[in-house]
């Protein structure tokens, strides 16, 4: 009996030792797996952080470029608005010229625009009642002096424009309104005006 008990005790001791070894090995493997998983998780975390930083930097650069473009567009628009304001002011000043100077200015334009010297001039309602007759008289005198027929006349029609006139004959019109004259000068004058405004 004692021998059997010794054998059982020995087997039990061996089993316990083996179990302890298995448990120790399992714990060791579990720790290794856990450490590996932790490292993988840490690596993934750092990868996500780097990707996030890269994405943030790219987003910031995109937004910065967009903001810079918008700022440039705003500055350009402000400059264009200021240049346009100069031409609007020029139109206002032409319309506000003293009657005598205004009539002489329009007469020269009419004489230079006239082909045959016998066209009609369409004025706006204001100019038709104030300077039209004087413009016609001066323009006809200039045409006669140049050896052309001085037979320009005031049209019965009136136009909707700020000032100047439309020269017409046989359905053909030459636009000499102040708006058109200012607009035509814009192409040549934009650069010099911008240079003065934005030195």
CA distance 49 to 59: 15
The confidence score (pLDDT) of residue 151 equals: 95
Q: Is the pTM of this model over 0.85?
A: no
Q: Is 151 within 8 Å of 160 (Cβ atoms)?
A: no
In this model, does residue 1 exceed pLDDT 70?
no
The confidence score (pLDDT) of residue 175 equals: 95
Mind listing the pLDDT tens digit for each residue in 22-67? Answer: 777 777 877 777 777 777 777 777 787 788 788 878 887 888 788 7
Mind listing the pLDDT tens digit for each residue in 138-192? Answer: 999 999 999 888 999 999 999 999 999 999 998 899 999 999 998 888 877 667 7
The confidence score (pLDDT) of residue 48 equals: 75
* Chain length of the chain: 199
Helix/strand/coil for 96:
coil
CA distance 74 to 135: 44
The confidence score (pLDDT) of residue 193 equals: 66
The confidence score (pLDDT) of residue 97 equals: 93
The confidence score (pLDDT) of residue 154 equals: 97
């Amino acid at each position: 009996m004692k021998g059997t008990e010794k054998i059982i005790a020995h087997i039990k001791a061996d089993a316990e030792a083996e179990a302890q070894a298995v448990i120790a090995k399992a714990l060791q493997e579990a720790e290794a797996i856990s450490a590996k998983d932790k490292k993988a998780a840490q690596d993934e975390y750092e990868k996500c952080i780097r990707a996030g930083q890269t994405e943030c930097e790219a987003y910031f650069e995109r937004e910065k470029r967009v903001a810079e473009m918008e700022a440039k567009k705003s500055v350009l628009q402000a400059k264009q608005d200021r240049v346009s304001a100069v031409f609007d002011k020029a139109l206002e000043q032409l319309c506000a010229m003293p009657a005598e100077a205004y009539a002489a200015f329009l007469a020269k334009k009419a004489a230079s625009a006239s082909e045959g010297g016998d066209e009609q001039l369409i004025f706006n309602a204001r100019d038709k009642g104030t300077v039209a007759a004087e413009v016609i008289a001066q323009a006809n005198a200039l045409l006669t002096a140049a050896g052309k027929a001085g037979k320009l006349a005031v049209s019965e029609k009136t136009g909707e424009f700020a000032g100047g006139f439309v020269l017409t004959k046989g359905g053909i019109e030459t636009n000499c309104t102040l708006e058109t004259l200012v607009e035509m000068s814009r192409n040549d004058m934009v650069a010099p005006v911008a240079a003065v405004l934005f030195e």
